[in-house]
Amino acid sequence: MSLAAAAKLAVAETYTAIGSLPADNQTAGLPGAATITSKYVTSVTVANGVISILFSGALGGTPTMNAQTVTLTPDVSNAGSIKWACAIAGDTTRYKYMPAECRN
C-alpha cells in the first residue's frame, strides 16, 4: 500500500489543480504503471482517478493474495476533500491482509 500513497497524492493534486480526476498515470504525473513496482507489486495504474494495485504471484496466504488487484476509488462528492474506498476484487475474505483504513 505504500506504493499507492504516491499515486493517491498525485490523483489528489491533479484533482485540485485541474478540477477533474486524472485519466491515467501520465495525466497524474506518474511514471507508467509497469514501472511502479516492488518485490510484491507488479504495477500501479491510475484510470479516471481509480488506483489499481496489482500484486505479484509471490504473496501466498489463505486465501491467496497472489495476482490480486486492490482498487482505491476516490469519492470527490464532498467539496474540498477526497475520501478513498478500498476493494479487493469484491472479496472480503482477503481484507485481513490490508491495513485498517482499507477494510471497508
- Whether the CB-CB separation of 75 and 82 falls below 8 Å is answered with yes
By residue range, what is the domain housing residue 82? 2-102
The mean pLDDT of 57-74, rounded to a whole number, is 88
Rg (CA), the chain: 14
pLDDT in tens, 71-87: 999 999 987 789 999 88
pLDDT in tens, 21-59: 999 999 999 999 999 999 989 999 999 999 999 999 888
Whether the full predicted model's pTM is greater than 0.75, yes or no, is: yes
More confident residue, 25 or 3: 25
pLDDT bracket for residue 64 (50, 70, 90): confident
**What is the number of domains present in the chain?**
1
- State the CATH number of the domain containing residue 75: 3.30.700.10
- Whether the CB-CB separation of 94 and 87 falls below 8 Å is answered with no
Residue type (1 letter), 68: Q
pLDDT(66) > 90:
no
> For position 54, what pLDDT does the model report?
94
Q: Which residues contact 60 (CB under 8 A, 6 or more apart)?
A: 66
